[in-house]
């Protein structure tokens, strides 16, 4: 009954999330359903002492990254900087390479720390006009935005401030630049593979004389006024460069030279600088970049306070959704039947912790429909064991970090994924029209990239 409860609970979570029910409601209810069917744990104590404790721990650790990332994205959008960057890339690449232009524009913004949701809203009006001008089917647009927003810049390229690149840090004692060579290779596989796929699909559509198609206007189609005063490109890109450069400088030059022995004290969590330096670096980089955007674009904001407030509120639902999934995972992990599931996952590749880690993260990310949620569940339940297995076999913790991040960006983009649903809504398209190409670009090719990294990493 315990195993049945786990799989029934997971199945309902995926199905009901696909139907649009918020995981803030689903996660605790379905976690307690598994507890009831198991019959091994007290229900109320499990909710307050296991579920809520795990939820709170996640918020304590990662809330600054969600908060600052959302504010940064909002001020970039409201200052016009995001639009300037997107338009410059389109100008340089050319309208005849519309798909490549959209992917690269999204990639630059997300690698700079702009939320993928903000990027989707900021890029869509420009990308839609570009696709119409090039007579490329609009049904390919969501896949192009997905490729640029939540694949190579989210999990692969080293140094990205994405939360998916930060979560593994405390578990493996790494930083945002873990496994730079293999991470870059994986990112190139995703980028080039996705662009090749979409261009081939576009060419096939052109051969059929399909064209852009007839579509109703969406609210997101509204552009900024033609006479709006936009910043210059150098000014617009400066905060993005600062996020990347300052993050690297703090990670490699500043924090390693600090005397942080006080972190070993109980009042600071009895931790080490190695465990927190990666998160500290991203926090400082984002705060500095937010201040730079505001200072250099002060007159362009209609209301800076409103922009900051909206960014702040925009961070709350994502982090609590993810934290609720972490609480759910903590409850499932506390069930005696989960030991069986854990042993099966670990025994799939007993001699290769990289492969075991990839399967565990992918499966849980797919079930929850969340890259960060699935990764957090897997690491909270099995992270210490995976680290021990990696150390025992002489596997670099940087490689363990990168495989974890890459694996979170595979099965997470199944149809019930919140970002997928949001993206389709912005574009005014349906799963039937566009999801097949999203699947290839955001699920299939990233999985191929992950497998490639595992094979090469295992050989080395």
d(CA 214, CA 132): 10
d(CA 317, CA 323): 10
The token duo for 46 is 């499990």
Residue that the structure tokens 């232009």 belong to? 101
pLDDT at 219: 52
For 360, how many CA atoms within 13 A lie in the half-sphere containing its CB? 33
pLDDT at 141: 96
Report which of 420, 412, 418, 448 is spatially closest to residue 436, judged by C-alpha positions. 420
pLDDT at 335: 87
- DSSP 8-state symbol, 367: H
The answer to whether 114 touches 68, Cβ cutoff 8 Å, is no
pLDDT at 36: 92
pLDDT at 401: 96
3-state secondary structure of 211: coil
- DSSP 8-state symbol, 262: G
pLDDT at 225: 60
pLDDT at 184: 96
pLDDT at 221: 58
pLDDT at 226: 60
- Give the angle 201-425-99 at the CA atoms, nearest 5°: 30
HEC readout, 28-78: HHHHHHHHHHHCCCCHHHHHHHHHHHHHHHHHHHHHHHHHHHHHHHHHHHH
The token duo for 79 is 């200052």
- DSSP 8-state symbol, 150: T
pLDDT at 366: 81
pLDDT at 313: 86
Burial environment of residue 155 by CB neighbours within 10 A (0 to 12, 13 to 18, 19 or more): buried
- DSSP 8-state symbol, 227: T
pLDDT, averaged per 10 consecutive residues of the chain (460 residues), comes to 86 76 85 89 91 90 84 84 81 81 89 75 80 89 94 92 88 91 96 97 93 73 64 91 85 84 84 81 90 91 87 82 82 84 73 88 81 84 86 92 94 82 83 91 97 90
Q: Residue 394: CB partners within 8 Å, gap ≥ 6?
A: none
In 349-430, which ranges are continuous DSSP H helix?
353-368, 371-392, 397-408, 418-427
d(CA 125, CA 102): 11
Query: Any idea how long the chain is?
Result: 460
The answer to whether 284 touches 45, Cβ cutoff 8 Å, is no
CB count in 10 Å sphere of residue 227: 5
Instruction: For the full predicted model, state whether its pTM sits above 0.85.
Output: no
**DSSP-derived secondary structure for 94-134:** -GGGHHHHHHHHHHHHHHTT--HHHHHHHHHHHHHHHHHHH
Q: Residue 81: CB partners within 8 Å, gap ≥ 6?
A: 231, 235, 236, 237, 239, 293, 297
d(CA 426, CA 441): 18
């Amino acid at each position: 009954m315990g195993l049945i409860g786990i799989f029934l609970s997971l199945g309902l979570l995926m199905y009901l999330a696909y139907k649009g029910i918020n995981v803030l409601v689903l996660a605790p209810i379905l976690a307690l359903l598994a507890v009831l069917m198991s019959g091994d744990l007290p229900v109320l104590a499990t909710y307050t002492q296991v579920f809520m404790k795990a939820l709170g721990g996640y918020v304590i650790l990662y809330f600054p990254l969600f908060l600052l990332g959302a504010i940064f994205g909002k001020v970039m959008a409201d200052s016009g900087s995001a639009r300037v960057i997107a338009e410059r890339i389109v100008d340089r690449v050319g309208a005849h390479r519309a798909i490549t232009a959209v992917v690269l524009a999204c990639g630059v913004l997300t690698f700079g720390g702009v939320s993928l949701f903000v990027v989707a809203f900021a890029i869509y009006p420009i990308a839609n006009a570009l696709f119409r001008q090039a007579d490329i089917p609009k049904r390919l647009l969501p896949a192009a935005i997905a490729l640029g927003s939540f694949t190579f810049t989210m999990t692969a390229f080293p140094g990205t401030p994405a939360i998916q690149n930060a979560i593994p840090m405390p578990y493996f004692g790494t930083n945002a630049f873990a496994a730079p060579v293999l991470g870059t290779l994986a990112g190139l596989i995703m980028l080039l593979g996705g662009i090749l796929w979409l261009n081939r699909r576009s060419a096939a559509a052109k051969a059929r004389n399909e064209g852009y198609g007839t579509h109703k206007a969406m609210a997101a189609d509204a552009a900024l006024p033609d006479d709006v005063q936009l910043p210059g490109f150098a000014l617009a890109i400066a905060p993005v460069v600062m996020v990347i450069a300052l993050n690297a400088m703090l990670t490699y030059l500043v924090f390693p030279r600090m005397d942080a022995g006080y972190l070993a004290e109980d009042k600071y969590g009895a931790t080490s600088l190695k465990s927190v330096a990666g998160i500290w670096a991203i926090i400082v980089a984002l705060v500095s970049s937010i201040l730079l955007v505001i200072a250099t674009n002060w007159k362009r904001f209609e209301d800076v306070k409103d922009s900051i407030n909206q960014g702040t509120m925009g961070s709350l639902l994502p982090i609590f959704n993810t934290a609720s999934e972490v609480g759910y995972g903590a409850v499932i992990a506390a069930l005696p039947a989960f030991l069986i599931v854990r042993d099966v996952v670990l025994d799939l590749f007993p001699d290769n912790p990289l492969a075991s880690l990839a399967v565990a993260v992918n499966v849980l990310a797919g079930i929850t429909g969340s890259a960060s949620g699935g990764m957090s569940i897997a690491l909270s339940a099995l992270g210490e064991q995976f680290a021990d297995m990696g150390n025992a076999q002489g596997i670099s913790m940087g490689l363990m970090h990168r495989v974890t991040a890459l694996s979170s960006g595979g099965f997470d983009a199944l149809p019930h994924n919140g970002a997928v649903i949001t993206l389709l809504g912005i574009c005014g398209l349906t799963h039937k029209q566009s999801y097949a190409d999203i699947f290839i670009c955001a699920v299939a090719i990233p999985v191929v990239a992950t497998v490639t990294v595992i094979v090469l990493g295992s050989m080395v």
